Amino acid sequence: MYLTNSDIYNLDKIKRLNIINSITGIKPANLIGTISEIQGPNVTIISSVVHIGSNPPYLGFILRPGGEVSRHTYLNIKENGFYTINHVHQSFMKKAHYTSAKFPYGVSEFEKCGLAEEYLGDFKAPFVKESPVKIGMEFREEIPIKLNDTRMIIGEVMHVFIPDEIMNEEGYLDLGKAGSAGISGLNSYYGFQKRGEFPYARVENVEEELG
């Protein structure tokens, strides 16, 4: 199928959403955990977490603060300054999916979707107990994307929990072993297997490696 820009504008809204949310390829399935003093805890599925840098360790994600679901996460992060990023494991991807429902502010998706809040040490935001990989984040910067009134939220990694059996000596995580899920589009969930591993690419080795 071939679509031009104007074909895309002319698509039925749902079909456009599905296609444009699918074409970037596989996306990581993560749950963002937040809490507000008055409104309580909140957890929502996000497929836009992206690596920003390793030193300092920064991760970002895209949020549309005007959207009903994103707004609670946004307000909580701005109020509290801390949040968590938790891998969705394939065993609870259905529960994770339903955190995207538009629950009113003050209703806990942890409770409604059957996920367990976990507080670790004195970290101020809830982790998802069932998640294989859990990351405690401190908010650093909010970058407005004026083109469509979305924002990138950037935080610094303050805590990381990784099961020993999924990490090798060099620090690589085996996401197949972890059982982490991926997302395509808005509602398809995937599992993965490692298919290849290649060394750091050096110009002087390319010909030999690919020859």
Interaction residues for a second copy, span 6-45 (CB under 8 A): 8-9, 11, 13-30
User: Which stretch, 35-43, 70-78, 184-192, contacts a second copy (CB under 8 A)?
Assistant: 184-192
Looking at beta carbons only, is 57 or 80 nearer to a second copy? Answer: 57
Closest approach, Cβ 68 to a second copy, in A, equals 10
Q: Is 48 in the site for a second copy (CB under 8 A)?
A: yes
Q: Which of residues 103-162 bind a second copy (CB under 8 A)?
A: 103, 112-114, 133, 135, 140-141, 143, 145-148, 150, 152, 154, 156-162
- Least distance (Å) from a second copy to the CB of residue 57? 5
Query: What does R_g of the chain's alpha carbons equal in angstroms?
Result: 19
In residues, how long is the chain? 211
Size of the site for a second copy (CB under 8 A): 114
3-state secondary structure string across 9-32: HHCCHHHHHHHHHHCCCCEECEEE
User: Nearest CA to 125 among 114, 112, 107, 138?
Assistant: 138
Contacts of 196 (CB under 8 A, 6+ apart): none
Q: Which of 41, 62, 79, 142 binds a second copy (CB under 8 A)?
A: 62
Among 32, 77, 93, 125, indicate the residue that binds a second copy (CB under 8 A): 93
Four-point Cα dihedral 168, 192, 60, 172, nearest 10: 10
40-46 vs 182-184, strand pairing mode: unpaired
From CA 40, how far away is CA 37, in angstroms rounded? 6
Interface mask toward a second copy for 63-82; x: CB under 8 A: --------------------
